[in-house]
Structure 1
Amino acid sequence: MSVEHIQNSVNGVIAFLKENPKDALSTSPPITAVMEGGLRCRATGDNGQSVVTDMPQAIGGGGTAPSPGWLSRAALASCDATRIALRAAELGISLDMLEVITDSVDDDRGLFGIDQSVRAGSLSLRTRVKIGAAGVSEKILWEIVDYAVTHSPVADSCRGETPSTLEVTIA
C-alpha cells in the first residue's frame, strides 16, 4: 500500500470517529484457546485465524511452536512497528527503514509460583526502534516514534494497567 493510501484511510477513520465518537468503542471478537496435547495450544478467532503455541522442552513442552510469551513480545514489536508506520503515513512521510525489536527481563519463579513476591509477567520490557526516512529530520522521526508507541494498543496493554475480569466455568 502506498503512503497516500494509508494516509487517506487513517484520515478518513479519524474524521469519522471525531464525528461519531460513540462508534469508537467496540468489543473485540473472541479468541478461543484449546489444548491440543501436552502443552501445545491452538488459539482460533472467529474468522478462522489461528496460532499455535508450545512451551520449551525444558519445562515439559514439545518446543514445536513459539511460547505465549514469545508471541506477546512479537505482538508488541509488530504493533509498535505498525503504529509507527501508520503515524508516518498520517503525516505523509514514507519510511525507508523501520525495525522494531522487543525483549524482556523475566523471572520464572513468578511463572511457577515459587516466590509470591515475583510477578508472573515480565519484570521489564525493552523496545528498540531503528527508523529512517530520506529528508526527514531526526526530531520528526523521534516525534513519530514517541507518538506511535504512546498510542500503540499492545504497548499500552503491556505497559499500563488494564482492568480485567476472569470468568470460570467448571465443566
Structure 2
Amino acid sequence: MSHQQIREALAGVTRHFEQHPELGPTTDSTAVATWQGGLRFQTAGPNGATLVSEMPKAVGGGGSAPTPGWLLRAALANCNASMIALRAAQSGIALTRLDVSVDSDSNDRGMLGLSHEVPPGPLAVRVKVRLAADGASAAQLQELVTWAERHSPVADALQRAVPVSTSVEIG
C-alpha cells in the first residue's frame, strides 16, 4: 500500500473508533504453539500464519530455527517499524528508508535457573532506528520515532507490567 492508502485507511478506522469507542477493547488473535519434538515448536495463528522456533544446540535444541528470544526482538523491531511507517503516512511524510534493529543483553544463568538473582529474560534492550524522507526535517523524523515508541503495542508490553495468567489442562 502507498502511504496515501495507509493514511486513508487510518483516517477511516480512527473515525470509526472516535464514533464508537466501546468497540476499541478486543481479544487479540490466539497463538498456539505445538511441540514438534525436542525443543522445536510450530506456532499457528490467524489466516494460516505459522512460525517455528527452536532452541540452540548448546541447550539441547537443533538450532534450525530462531529462538523465542530472537522472535521477541523481531516482534519489537517489526512493531516499532510498523508504527513509524503508520505515523509517517498519517503525517504525510513519504519515507525513503526505514530500518529498525533490536538487540539485547541476557544472562543465560537466569533461564537455566542457576541464580535466583538473575532474571531469565533480557537485562537490557536496545532499539536502533535508521530513517530518511525527502523534505522532512530531522526533528520531524525524530517525532515519528518518539510517537511510534509511545504507541507500539510490543514496546508497551515489554515496558509495562502486563498481567499474565496461566491455566493448565492435564491430559
Q: Give the TM-score category using the shorter length.
A: over 0.9
CA shift, 1:156, in A, is 0.6
Distance 1:69 1:121 in 2: 8
Distance 2:47 2:85 in 1: 25
CA shift, 1:47, in A, is 2.7
Distance 1:29 1:81 in 2: 21
Match of 1:14 in 2: 14
Residue ranges of structure 2 left out of the alignment (5+ in a row): none
Distance 2:3 2:48 in 1: 29
1:104 equivalenced with 2:127 (yes/no): no
Match of 2:80 in 1: 80
How far does the alpha carbon of each residue in 1:33-84 deviate from its partner, in whole angstroms, 9 at most, with x for none?
A: 1110110111112432111111111110001100111111001001100000
Percent pairwise identity: 43
1:162 equivalenced with 2:127 (yes/no): no
Counterpart residue type for residue 23 of structure 1? L
Distance 2:144 2:46 in 1: 33
Counterpart residue type for residue 106 of structure 1? S
How far does the alpha carbon of each residue in 1:112-146 deviate from its partner, in whole angstroms, 9 at most, with x for none?
A: 11111111111111000001111111111101100
Match of 2:61 in 1: 61
Q: TM-score, normalised by structure 2?
A: 0.97
Provide the aligned length of Structure 1 versus Structure 2. Answer: 171
Distance 1:12 1:93 in 2: 19
Distance 2:3 2:61 in 1: 43
1:147 equivalenced with 2:147 (yes/no): yes
Q: TM-score, normalised by structure 1?
A: 0.97
Distance 2:128 2:137 in 1: 19
Distance 1:17 1:159 in 2: 25
1:24-39 maps to which residues of 2 (within 5 A)? 24-39=24-39
